[in-house]
């Protein structure tokens, strides 16, 4: 298993008044990492919804360890920790040159398009297998 990696360059408008990446933007970067992973395995959110499924985030735990500044390029590393009956847990890190800047663990329910929890589709584990943490 290897983590999915997505590189993002920090823009000046993503900074807080102190010149650091705003804490809310970290959450957006993590979201971008998950979306990019899903697209890479052919499971973009639109096609997933067309099949009748959605990922619905119901818990996020984020820690901020080092500041990030404008112009820096960071890497979002994403892996799937587990797929349960109707949910998934994702572990992510934002790193720069091997140094961990932020960590996040996210739980997402799998629902139908009306928001009701449903079983994980049979092919989801196989599709995400390259990024499943063992």
Q: What are the extents of the domains in the chain?
A: 4-131
Residue in this structure with the two tokens 């929890």, named with its chain if needed: 117
**Sorting pLDDT into bands at 50, 70 and 90, what band is 2?**
confident
pLDDT for 29 equals 98
∠ CA 14-21-38, nearest 5°, is 75
What predicted TM-score, i.e. pTM, was given to this entire model? 0.93
The C-alpha atoms of residue 106 and residue 18 are separated, in whole angstroms, by: 27
pLDDT at 1: 59
- Domain 4-131 falls under CATH 3.10.129.10: yes
Show the tokens assigned to 104. 């996040």
CA distance 32 to 7: 10
Q: What is the pLDDT of residue 7?
A: 98
pLDDT tens, position by position, 78-133 = 999 999 989 999 999 999 999 999 999 999 999 999 999 999 888 888 899 899 98
Residue 113 makes CB contacts below 8 A (sequence gap 6+) with 49, 52, 53, 54
């Amino acid at each position: 298993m290897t983590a999915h990696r997505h590189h993002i360059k920090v823009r000046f408008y993503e900074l807080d008044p102190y010149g650091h990446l705003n804490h809310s933007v970290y959450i957006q970067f993590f979201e971008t990492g998950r979306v990019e992973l899903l697209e890479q395995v052919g499971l973009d959110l639109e096609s997933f919804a067309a099949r009748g499924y959605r990922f619905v985030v119901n818990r996020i735990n984020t820690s901020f360890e080092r500041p990030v500044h404008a112009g820096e390029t960071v890497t979002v590393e994403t892996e799937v920790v587990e797929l349960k009956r109707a949910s998934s847990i994702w572990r992510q890190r934002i790193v720069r040159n091997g140094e961990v800047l932020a960590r996040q663990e996210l739980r997402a329910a799998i629902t139908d398009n009306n928001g009701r929890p449903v079983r994980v589709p049979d092919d989801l584990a196989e599709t995400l297998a390259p990024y499943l943490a063992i």
